[in-house]
Chains A and B, each alone.
Chain A
Amino acid sequence: MGKKKRGHPDVEDILARPWCYYCERDFEDLKLLISHQKAKHFKCDRCGKRLNTAGGLSVHMNQVHKESLDKVENALPNRQGLDIEIFGMEGVPEDILQQHNQRIITNFYTAQAERHAVTGNPPPGQSGGQGPAKKIKIETPEEIKKRLAEHRARVAAQKAAGGTSAPLHVPADDQSPGQGASPFPPPQAGFPYPPPGAPGAPPFPAAHAYPPAYPTGPSPPPGAPAAFNLPARPPGGGAPAALPQRPPYMFNGAGAPPPGYPAGASTVDELISSGARHGDDIDHMIRMAEAGIKPAGKPAEDAGGEKKGKKDKDKNTRMVYADNEVSPEEKMALLPRYRFTAVA
């Protein structure tokens, strides 16, 4: 498929773009993604050296600077972990991949619908003389997921069969009739899209309840930090950002948010701002949840069971020093080795 620099790219083109696991930015090609990762996420802030992976940076920090890397820099909250080894697009967990694709599909059709609303042109997928889609059902996230998976499987099968010119678009006998050629139907086709400012257009209340996953206009929604520049895809072209929207469907419905997303956050922007609020280890005020840790009375009691604590399987925490009345120095001062006895 050709790259369409002008006009509006096909959803497949967008889905095919390499993107960064850590910050969700996408790139023209894999080389650019890899150099982005080296510069933004795997760069040593002590000496400027760019490593290939977070693991490589961690080893470098350890050996050269005697520091430990505790998180990936410039990464979205919940993407800062060192446990996942990413190189380019390699290593991105399947569920994250799915979330990313779903987000792109949502944005694509949102933008398309906006264009449609502005220009009056039907979305390309529905231009084949089929008229406006009337019977498009609103799919659940599961259904869309399923269909995406099926589509991918088909493409893979076609590739495997040697079909170099295999059409990326599924035939019309797809299980959702009336969809046109695209395997990814507008997720929100049931919504009316009145031209902005048209009489009877709602004063955008829904936009406040459900901010778009990506800012589609030039200015981000209020509260979105500027530090993370999430790309609007495709560019909004001045389309108003405040059209009524369905909430991003990965958080739609009664199901729990997908792993890696804190409950309650409904957009990437909210994730970012909530992430900015909770600093590394800082919990805001002291909660004493350490059941079973009581101020120890006499040193003799402490000497009892807790010496190595291997038996404390039921406890949440084990304090290596647990006497709340007498300091370690006071105890050391009593040891024969250190005790002071006046000579005079």
Chain B
Amino acid sequence: MAPSTQFEVAQPPNDAITAIVFAPDFPNRFLVSSWDKNVYLYEVVDGAEQANLIEKFEHRAPVLDVCFGATHEEAFTAGLDHQVSRIDLASGDQSVLSKHEKPVRSVIYSPQHSILVSASWDNTLHIHDTAPNSSHPVLTIPLPNKPHAMAASPSKLVVAMTARLVHIYDLPTLASALASPNPPSTIAPWQQRESSLKFLTRAVSCMPNDAGYATSSIEGRVAVEWFEDTAESQARKYAFKCHRQQDESSGGGDVVYPVNALAFHPVYGTFASGGGDGTVALWDAEAKRRMRQYQKFSDSVAALAFSGHGKYLAVGVCPGFETGMEDYSGEGRAHVLIRELGETEAKGKGSK
């Protein structure tokens, strides 16, 4: 049998996975955050079908999100303990960048604008200047509702909240407000939208070409839309069902899974979705077609990330939290799998 192009990472987190992210400038390096209060730094060994744990960084509380900073030596985390932290990955030093009033759900670093944005269940965004020795105070932007997912393109920040609210911020505007000697007390979003999906948003991912974004919901559905606020662009948006299974036990109805993770491929602009059904699918956003569906994983897919060059796809797998799971535990059931993509595996039909 030909060798598999997929392998499991040794020493995965001990509990459920919250996020996976690759370093933009160091394609084999990736971070995983977990409910076990740790952030794990791994490196894929090219050609060896192996990824090694380099270090783990313990926090006071579960870590709900992680991102790289300006380099592969710097990371930021979103803590259930309300804190936004910076980790020096080389020295292991941790420092607190800001404190929210409630748990921090997401962190995003914009390398184009050198700012870090955190989104918290206290219904605010914090905008941080992460330059060393920066004297700019953290800028707080109130949100109309709780944020659940956030993503950035080169120039836009998309924040998806409860009640189908979606705010799109212009990153240059945020950056210049932060640098202003008289920062405004609030910044209006560049656009406010109602989500194309009727149900609670699970994930957002932006197109690498800055043209638009995809969102997913708890109700087995993904929507793709474009930033440009013209009738033509808005008419292009679409949504589709996915991550559903025929329920044999109930006579043919569908079991509908949340779509927990979305990730655009950095080169081809196709995207992957991961669901509570334990599957990962690759989609061609332009051609509106499913390109691939990977073999079912052992549990729900919690997180997805492509490496900076698009060669690796990391998949975080752990039990999904389903309605009524008062006794939920992800202990010992988290896995991280790395798929080495074939030459054209993630290439859409349109880009051939």
Say yes or no: is B193 at the interface (Cβ < 8 Å to chain A).
no
Contact across chains for A66 and B323 when beta carbons are under 8 A apart: no
Interface residues of B in 24-48 (CB under 8 A from A): 35
State which of A68, A302, A304, A338 has its C-beta within 8 Å of the C-beta of B80. Answer: A338
Docked-complex contact B289 and A282, CB < 8 angstroms = yes
Interface readout for B310-333 with A: 1 if CB under 8 Å, 0 if not?
000000000011111110110000
Supposing A310-B250, A329-B64, A340-B81 touch, asked if A320 and B290 sit within 8 A by C-beta, the answer is no
Known: A309-B250, A313-B250. A279 touches B321 (CB 8 A): no
- Given A64-B2, A315-B250, A320-B293 contact (CB < 8 Å): no
Task: For B254, give the chain A residue with the smallest CB separation.
Answer: A317
Contact call B6/A66, Cβ cutoff below 8 A: yes
- Which residues of B are at the interface with A, using a C-beta cutoff of 8 A? 1-2, 4-6, 16, 18, 35, 60-62, 64, 79-81, 103, 105, 121, 146, 148, 162-163, 196-200, 202, 218-221, 223, 238-242, 244, 247, 249-251, 253-258, 276, 279, 287-290, 292-296, 320-326, 328-329, 339, 342, 345
B287 touches A67 (CB 8 A): no
- In the complex, whether A231 has a CB less than 8 A from a CB of chain B is no
- Within the assembled complex, what's the spacing in Å between the Cα atoms of A309 and B257? 13
**Contacting A322 at CB < 8 Å: which of B148, B218, B221?**
B218
* A286 part of interface (Cβ distance < 8 Å): yes
Contacts of B276 in A (CB 8 A): 320-321
Chain A positions within 8 Å of B, measured between CB atoms, are: 46-47, 62-68, 70, 279-286, 288, 290, 293, 296, 302-304, 306-307, 309-310, 312-313, 315-325, 327-333, 335, 337-338, 340, 342-343
B-side contacts of A293, CB under 8 Å: 219
Query: What residues of A have a CB within 8 angstroms of the CB of B290 in the complex?
Result: 70, 279-281
Q: How far is the CB of A146 from chain B (nearest CB, A)?
A: 35
Query: In whole angstroms, what is the CA distance A333 to B91 when docked?
Result: 30
Additional A-B contact list (16), CB under 8 Å, known A279-B289, A328-B320, A332-B328:
A62-B295, A66-B6, A279-B287, A280-B289, A290-B219, A312-B253, A318-B254, A318-B255, A318-B256, A321-B257, A322-B218, A324-B199, A328-B218, A329-B148, A338-B80, A340-B62
The one of A46, A65, A337 that contacts B329, using a Cβ cutoff of 8 Å:
A337
Residues in B neighbouring A285, C-beta threshold 8 A: 238-239
**Inter-chain contact A327/B200, CB cutoff 8 Å:** yes
Most buried by A among B250, B254, B289: B250
* A66→B80 contact, CB < 8 A: no
**A329 interface neighbour in B2, B5, B105, B288, Cβ under 8 Å:** B105
Which of A65, A286, A315 meets B4, CB within 8 Å? Answer: A65
Are A321 and B321 closer than 8 Å at their CB atoms?
A: yes
Ranked nearest first, the 4 interchain pairs of A and B with the lowest CB-CB distance are: A328-B321, A340-B61, A282-B240, A280-B290
Do A332 and B35 form a contact, CB below 8 Å, given A317-B256, A320-B257, A337-B329? yes
Give the Cβ gap from A49 to chain B, nearest Cβ, in Å: 8
Which residues of A lie under 8 Å from residue B241 when comparing CB positions? 281, 283
- Check B103 against A282 for contact (C-beta < 8 Å): no
Residue among A283, A316, A335, A342 making CB contact with B328, cutoff 8 Å: A335
Q: Are A323 and B323 in contact (CB under 8 A)?
A: yes
With A306-B324, A310-B249, A329-B105 known as contacts, the answer to whether A66 contacts B218 (CB < 8 A) is no
Q: How far is the CA of A281 from the CA of B220 in the complex (A)?
A: 11
